[in-house]
Structure 1
């Protein structure tokens, strides 16, 4: 094969092939009993930690999960306060690519989940002054947005260190002069990556993988998955880990806010934000390559507000509303609950750098900010909401963000580094250890399966 004919994507596929294979769930059948009697601690009761714990128990291990929060699920959390027919997903809100190969969909099916199939084409988009886009304008914007991403993908080499915005500016500057394209880059790309186009890698922002089929919403609550995974697990809530000590050859010592634990192996499934903040002390310190990878990877935020109204003032049948706000990322995408619920609810999203701005607002300020955007489209006389819920993931001290993303100075290797065991005692999992499916619940799930395989291999080798 002529190396000159290798595209960047094909080269990346070769580099990730072995890694991808390691992420797949094991074939069904009798579980190995290599871990029988082993004492293992899992830090974090999110989907990756719960998956790892469940797999470990099936292999005979004794498992304790230490969770810093007063609830389980991590970035999967369902709030029903707006109505019994209206799940507000504080964190993960969709199953992305719910094909039969998607492990989150498999788990959701077993958990009794019910689904609503989303339709990204069922959208009405407006300029900031309330002018509605014609079908021709929407199609032109989509075409230019897709062209910008295509040109970047074709022209950049693997070692390019530009941000996505800088690459578009250099290659196709006309795209950035179109407010509609900036809206698409924010509402779609920034939402997908959990950060701004100024911060995400131009090379790797779209080189992850995905499953087939349109996304679905779980109408009876995403947290059904968490309830299924956590069944019969030993979970200690309000137990915040401050130190992990693997210096003793005979055991691992774990210090929490109220107790010391000892075990044979430990799985650290805390979010990347916690690692970046150095909220856990490692003894001995993490090797330099781990510290570098933690620093190089990004961890952004996505902010949500769900507002319930007495009466609807928007089109009942339209599933999504896009709003080209002057400040990129400011409440520029809205989900209409009336397409799958009886409640009059609009769910707004702030993404990119504006998500970090919105996270700093109190609930009242966020409501007022979001209402200003809605009033620009539907008029100053629309009513105030009768109830609302907000999120601020970057301020959640035990999480500190929404999900990971590749920065211009990072690469898939940094995700791989963070999935590598240390001294056959310390193991990591979470969406930030899985480049192929980073920033997804199925990526977190697969990392939980992979880490158990790593523990078994550490015993065999």
Structure 2
């Protein structure tokens, strides 16, 4: 399948057209590789700046790790689903406002510990007994104290270590902070939630880097209509080629030749590469000449985590009217949590969310086995839970188009990896969430890197070919004025 529209460009395919494409006449040409939000943002900005742009996407759809599924009869995000930072400073806010999309705020807190408010979270033990709210709140405060103490551990040690190891050191030093019984299980649930933020287990996350991210103000907001409208708005009118898997990129100072599926070729002045970090780490694209060692090392050294969702559609709502349901257990691996979409959207859907090793293990199961696992967890909390009428299961780690969800900082690795991943190589420009220096792992971070890559590409072509001042890349218009408020609900 191929997406076609009136703005189709005349990008060359095959050797016969390469001589034509090498003529440096206006408009300059750029190939954008990868149709996630960073790719469509880059393509949109370059298109708006009067560049000739073609976007190559390996999937049969746009969005990348944004995937809004409509098979339930309404939108359900099986990939990215939150706007992290519900504020006008968020670079996606103008577009969300212009599209009239609604955000459901799940938290007013900006930390990586809570993406929900405690008063809208119901935790249960394996016997189906709800954990008293005072224990949930108390353990949350305890975790904050423990994490504060890990700062001392960090300052005392030159060598990096895992967050989990630092927590263990703190608890050994301060026995009064070590919870017991039910409180211990609640603490494990909080650690499970932290692991979801990084899509990785606590024993793999760098103590040096885990809390260095700049989190925007305004808390966390679910996209009620899903992220799909954002992707469609950005891609409108672009020349998009779906089912085009890039296998090789030949880059020279004045041109780039991209090979798709081993045969079809596209040529342009430059390329913007926005494929997921998991794909780059797996060396699924051959670069000729090879990427510099500093770039390859940065790609190898950054971590990539896994998080999956099991969305369950029911006939009726049988669960409490809270935003999250959680099962506490003796280890974070055995804990679970379910997002209640009914509270945000009105649809009777629970989404079981699994990260790190849990997410990896999920992908070893069939869809039916995965749903059975989720239902076993749910029935521990509510023994009378009904069976779902429909379900969806994501598999981001084994998806050849993603090979993971989003990046995180591995233990003992340099702190400037995202900056190096973003840094251009001649006329190759890089974007994506892993290239975001301040907001890796987020949709708005990926979006911003696409805009930055487009701007850097524009500058290089202008400087190299002494072209007249091209239009500045933009993605919005007059309708983006801040006077239009973000639509935020809290049911």
Which TM-score applies when normalising by structure 2?
A: 0.82
Q: Is 1:135 matched up with 2:141? A: no
User: Which shows bigger deviation, 123-132 or 193-202?
Assistant: 123-132
Q: 1:453 aligns with which of 444, 455, 475?
A: 455
Whether the 8 Å contact between 2:188 and 2:331 is mirrored in structure 1 is: no
Q: 2:98 aligns with which of 103, 110, 122?
A: 110
- In structure 2, relative to structure 1, the CA distance for the partners of 1:194 and 1:176 (3 Å cut) is farther
Shift of 1:327: 5.2
Provide structure 2 residue ranges, at least 5 long, that are not aligned to the other structure: 1-23, 108-115, 465-491
Correspondence for 1:441: 443
CA distance in 2, matches of 1:181, 1:420: 40
Correspondence for 2:191: 185
CA RMSD of aligned residues (A): 2.0
Whether the 8 Å contact between 1:112 and 1:224 is mirrored in structure 2 is: no
Q: How does 1:417-436 map to 2 (within 5 A)?
A: 417-423=420-426, 425-436=427-438
User: Which shows bigger deviation, 116-125 or 61-70?
Assistant: 116-125
Shift of 1:169: 1.6
Correspondence for 2:348: 344
1:301-360 deviations in whole A, cap 9, x for unaligned? 111111112222211x21211211455245611111221333221111111211111122
CA distance in 2, matches of 1:203, 1:60: 43
Q: How does 1:38-437 map to 2 (within 5 A)?
A: 38-84=28-74, 87-119=75-107, 120-121=116-117, 122-157=120-155, 160-173=159-172, 178-187=184-193, 189-246=194-251, 248-257=252-261, 258-315=263-320, 317-326=321-330, 328-330=332-334, 332-379=336-383, 381-423=384-426, 425-437=427-439
CA distance in 1, matches of 2:167, 2:216: 27
User: Which shows bigger deviation, 271-280 or 148-157?
Assistant: 148-157
1:217-247 deviations in whole A, cap 9, x for unaligned? 222221100011001111100000001111x
CA distance in 2, matches of 1:223, 1:141: 37
CA distance in 2, matches of 1:42, 1:142: 44
User: Which shows bigger deviation, 170-179 or 260-269?
Assistant: 170-179
Runs of 4+ with >6 A deviation: none
1:142-188 deviations in whole A, cap 9, x for unaligned? 0121122222234414954211111212233456762321210111x
CA distance in 2, matches of 1:331, 1:104: 33
| Matched position secondary structure for 1:340 | helix
Shift of 1:250: 3.5
CA distance in 2, matches of 1:176, 1:354: 25
Whether the 8 Å contact between 1:301 and 1:394 is mirrored in structure 2 is: yes
Which TM-score applies when normalising by structure 1?
A: 0.87
1:370-423 deviations in whole A, cap 9, x for unaligned? 1111111111x4321111111110011111111111111223311111111112
CA distance in 2, matches of 1:113, 1:254: 36
Whether the 8 Å contact between 2:46 and 2:458 is mirrored in structure 1 is: no
Correspondence for 1:12: none
CA distance in 2, matches of 1:354, 1:326: 15
Whether the 8 Å contact between 2:90 and 2:444 is mirrored in structure 1 is: yes
Whether the 8 Å contact between 1:46 and 1:72 is mirrored in structure 2 is: yes
- In structure 2, relative to structure 1, the CA distance for the partners of 1:318 and 1:328 (3 Å cut) is same
Shift of 1:35: 10
| Matched position secondary structure for 2:82 | coil
1:38-93 deviations in whole A, cap 9, x for unaligned? 11100001110111111111222111101000000111111122233xx2101111
- In structure 2, relative to structure 1, the CA distance for the partners of 1:327 and 1:69 (3 Å cut) is farther
CA distance in 2, matches of 1:36, 1:330: 59
Whether the 8 Å contact between 1:329 and 1:350 is mirrored in structure 2 is: no
Residue-pair matches, total: 421
Whether the 8 Å contact between 1:293 and 1:410 is mirrored in structure 2 is: no
CA distance in 1, matches of 2:370, 2:37: 29
